[in-house]
Amino acid sequence: METRKDIGTLLKHSDDIFKDILSPLIDRGANPYIYFYRIIGCNHEEKYLAEIVNLDEKLRLLGNYIFFDRRIEIVSNSSSIDSARNLLIQVPFNDYHNGALLNLLETHGYFSLTSNLQVNKNNKDAFGIVLNLYLTNEREVNLNIIMNFVMKVLLWFVDYGKQVGKKSAYNPKILYWGSPKTHEVYFLILMSLIGCDVLVLNTTFNDRFEKVDKQNEFSFLITKVRERQISAFPTRESIIEIQTRIEKSQSLLEEPPKLVENSERDLPTYQKPIELNDPTIVVKLKKSEAIFEEIFVPLSKRSGFVGGPFPILPTYFMRYIGVPGSLDDWEAEYYNSLYNLDNAFKMSPFYLKFLDGIPALSAAESALIPQRLIGHPYRDRFEIIEQFLRANLLPQTYDQLLDNTVRKAFVDSIKLFAEKSSNINTSIVLNFSLKLVTWFNRYLPKLLTRSNRNKKFSVGGLDYEHNPKILFYGSIKLHEIYLLNAFHKMGCDVLFIHSDEAGDLPFQNFDDHKMLTQVMRNEHNLPLKLFPEGERLIRKSTIAYQASKEIEEVIYNEEVGLFKPWQFESYSTHPITLKTTFDELKILWREPAKLRTEFKVQNKKVYVPNLFAKINGVSEDLNSYWLDLKALSSAFNTRLLEDVPFTKILYTKQELYQTDYLLNEQGLFDELKVLESPHYKFGHLKANLQHFLIAKINELLLSGFFLAKVDEKFKLKIIMTILTMDDSLLKLIEAFDYPQEIPKVIVYDNEKETFSENDAILLAYFNLIGLDVIIFTPTNYKTIEQQIKPSYFDVHQLPFVKYDLALPSLNSISAALPHKPGLLSRFFNLH
């Protein structure tokens, strides 16, 4: 495995990182080093936070600075996210280990942050180091997990890696405030490897680097003595007030009392509002492997159900994470299943659906809480519970069993919240209690049946046949999880759904041992989208079709050597231009790619052995020369170009310069922008082929093919020439099934007029794709050599030179060679 040293970024020790990180590149010598420190904990809080504020102000003045406040956002637009997802979906699990993934990402330009080839190579190598580190640390990963990791890090890399290409006297600086999550740790390591200084300021002792950078190989560690909970990033104003706030917080800090030690106080707290022996509904967590079907089974028909005066209810609390896979359109199937589930739930009158979180408390709802409860100087959480229950703020059902259950759910929720929260105090518990009481009053009347319509407010007994259903879709906050848990404890079936694994993270602290909920993790991850409002059209596989696909996966793969038509249309190509004799060229000309030496398929690339040659002069026998040209031009999928220059200029100078917006900051072709360009004519092609053609344009920009300097003007000419190429040439590429017959271009050049830059661009482009190219020049003139470096093609010299040799109709050329007269015949003029 490559290391930091192999890609040229050396990690430097520092005795004063807040000072040294500000040093410019000129002070770091010929082989610039980088700093990567993580500072864990917090000593002398006021002084330390003041130093952080001061450093942040200085870093902002440098202009090459990235700041992350407690998380790393993905700022890519939906098109970029979809492109990355569609690309990674095609990658099999083994390709994450063998380097194929890196080649695929390189082909699609993800590592091309600058026009410097070495920098881009280092980006690829750095990504490989991080990927190998992840696979080493996370041994129990499946395709779904590794794809989610790569997609997240890749999108971050696209969003923030651009800083590396900026011209500046300083290398990029990254400051992360907070405790980075595991995937964020890997990304910070990646940014360090490509040349960024990284400083992680984590005032807590929760350091996930310990599980990633176990030997401190990628970063250095400074540990403080004390710990401080992460809060908002400090400002000069907040530092002035910090001491007062700390003292106030300390006075409110609660040491959770134990029931044994506080029995004289705790028993009245629980006994008066809710007797310890009062009967309640007992709820048991029921598990399922087919939740979308089994959730509709009535309570009374579920195993574990007990009716009567002391019921036991087996109910579901499922976290349904990710998207299940199938041979068909699994994404459409997923959203259709959600749509149908929602419609089925709507058949019940006891259904709540949350799509954008739970709405905050309104002013009217807050006004219903007595002011004396809000301003009361509570001693601990037990007093909060007591006062709230005595105030009768919870909804009354006029069903004693259900009333007891609602009160117990409220008490247990506050108790659970206090136990699982760190640095808890009465202010935090009070805020949570107010929110929970309001939510109870807002939603319980919608969930539980009315048994007495004459009551002013009645919720009534629970329906044991059709218990309430709760569907929560999307991102969730911690307080909202406690409400869902309370619903479950009152007999509701609860279903939390998120299409991405990251959406389940808030549950990790709430139920890390999976005792309160069941988790179902599916094969795929998708970025969260709006809840479906209708069914998508979908096609389903028959049993025979599924069996056929399974057989194909065994028979047709890169190793076996059997290829079905268009098997590799999602792959890229890599030309291996052969050095041959002229006679050998004529033999190879009609051979398909898969039969030529050096052909292989590896790591999502098809290595195509192609031909690129110039034939100077003519044969001694001119008829033989024409026969060779006729034989070559009659090969399958061959285009003979008889006039040079052969490229028509279909754009004006104004249009040429107006397309400079198609180049990104690194001087490469921006795929998203070109799709909207009026000159883009590839939109009718398959998506894979469009990506392929655009990726090959970027390869050409970086290839070094041309003798001319590839400046911005020349790059624009390359782009416009290819985007406006003749349809007949484009059709050659469309018909290219990479292992099969190779498309061919023959140019006949018998004039003094040489190739234009546009001609050279297209010929170089064809060679990069893998096409065969031959140029016939009977004059021996220096033609293509004036545009393309001679090292990229062969030159075959025939014995004679002809000028102004017009190309005859090749169909009229006879295969029979003319009879040569003998010596005596010539002497006596006999014919």
**Residue 297 and residue 186 in one domain:** no
Query: What are the helix (H) ranges across 320-473?
Result: 330-345, 363-367, 371-374, 381-390, 400-420, 426-447
**Both tokens assigned to 771:** 């096409």
Mean pLDDT (whole number) for 522-551: 76
**Residue 142 and residue 61 in one domain:** yes
Express each pLDDT in 201-246 by its tens digit: 998 888 888 888 888 889 998 887 677 788 888 888 777 766 555 4
In a domain, 454, yes or no: yes
- For residue 34, the cross-strand partners are 11
pLDDT of 265 above 70? no
**Residue 13 and residue 129 in one domain:** yes
Q: What secondary structure does DSSP assign to 569-604, as a single string?
A: TTSEEEEEEPP--HHHHHHHTTS-GGGSTT-EEETT
In a domain, 729, yes or no: no
**Residue 238 and residue 327 in one domain:** no
Express each pLDDT in 16-44 by its tens digit: 999 999 988 888 887 778 899 999 888 77
Q: CA nearest 756: which of 796, 718, 715? A: 718
CA distances from 548 to 93, 151, 333, 554, 556 (A): 21, 31, 21, 10, 12
User: Which region among 59-63, 110-114, 566-570 has the lowest average model confidence (pLDDT)?
Assistant: 110-114
pLDDT of 249 above 50? no
CA 747, CA 629: separation in Å to the nearest integer?
Answer: 10
CA 607, CA 572: separation in Å to the nearest integer?
Answer: 9
Q: What string of H, E and C letters represents the secondary structure of 701-752?
A: HCCCCECCCCCHHHHHHHHHHHHCCCHHHHHHHHCCCCCCCCCEEEEECCCC
Residue type, 338: L
**Residue 405 and residue 503 in one domain:** yes
**Residue 144 and residue 182 in one domain:** yes
pLDDT band at 583 (very low <50, low <70, confident <90, very high): very high
Q: In this predicted structure, what is the pLDDT of residue 559?
A: 54
The gap from C-alpha 679 to its chain's centroid, in whole angstroms, comes to 29
In a domain, 203, yes or no: yes
Backbone dihedral region of 195: left (phi > 0), alpha (psi from -120 to 50 degrees) or beta? left
Query: What are the helix (H) ranges across 177-309?
Result: 182-193, 209-212, 236-252, 263-271, 291-294
pLDDT band at 542 (very low <50, low <70, confident <90, very high): low
CA 268, CA 276: separation in Å to the nearest integer?
Answer: 10
pLDDT band at 433 (very low <50, low <70, confident <90, very high): very high
In a domain, 818, yes or no: no
pLDDT of 148 above 50? yes
In a domain, 191, yes or no: yes
In the three-class reduction of DSSP (H, G, I as helix; E, B as strand; rest coil), residue 552 is classed as helix
Domain end marker among 184, 212, 243: 243
**Residue 164 and residue 281 in one domain:** no
In a domain, 764, yes or no: no
**Residue 179 and residue 207 in one domain:** yes
pLDDT of 253 above 70? no
Domain end marker among 467, 498, 521: 521
Mean pLDDT (whole number) for 734-750: 94
pLDDT band at 745 (very low <50, low <70, confident <90, very high): very high
Q: In this predicted structure, what is the pLDDT of residue 10?
A: 85
**Residue 175 and residue 270 in one domain:** no
pLDDT of 820 above 70? no
**Angle (CA) 447 450 453, round 5°:** 145
**Residue 232 and residue 317 in one domain:** no
User: Which region among 274-283, 372-381, 384-393, 802-811 has the lowest average model confidence (pLDDT)?
Assistant: 274-283
Question: Checking DSSP bridges between strand 794-797 and strand 612-616, what pairing results, if any?
Answer: parallel
Task: Report the chain's terminal Cα–Cα distance, integer Å.
Answer: 78
User: Which region among 73-82, 500-509, 551-560 has the lowest average model confidence (pLDDT)?
Assistant: 551-560
In a domain, 593, yes or no: no
Tokens 């009609």 -> residue: 590
Domain that holds residue 137: 5-243
**Both tokens assigned to 679:** 């000159």
**Residue 298 and residue 177 in one domain:** no
Domain end marker among 476, 496, 521: 521
Q: In this predicted structure, what is the pLDDT of residue 726?
A: 92
In a domain, 829, yes or no: no
583: Cβ contacts below 8 Å, ≥ 6 apart: none
78: Cβ contacts below 8 Å, ≥ 6 apart: 527
Number of domains in the chain: 2
**Both tokens assigned to 31:** 């082989």
CA 233, CA 290: separation in Å to the nearest integer?
Answer: 45
**Residue 347 and residue 224 in one domain:** no
**Both tokens assigned to 526:** 């998708």
Mean pLDDT (whole number) for 533-547: 69
Q: In this predicted structure, what is the pLDDT of residue 2?
A: 52
In the three-class reduction of DSSP (H, G, I as helix; E, B as strand; rest coil), residue 258 is classed as coil
Q: Are 499 and 476 in contact (CB under 8 A)?
A: no
pLDDT band at 479 (very low <50, low <70, confident <90, very high): very high
631: Cβ contacts below 8 Å, ≥ 6 apart: 586
Q: In this predicted structure, what is the pLDDT of residue 550?
A: 57
Q: What percentage of the chain reaches a pLDDT higher than 90?
A: 41
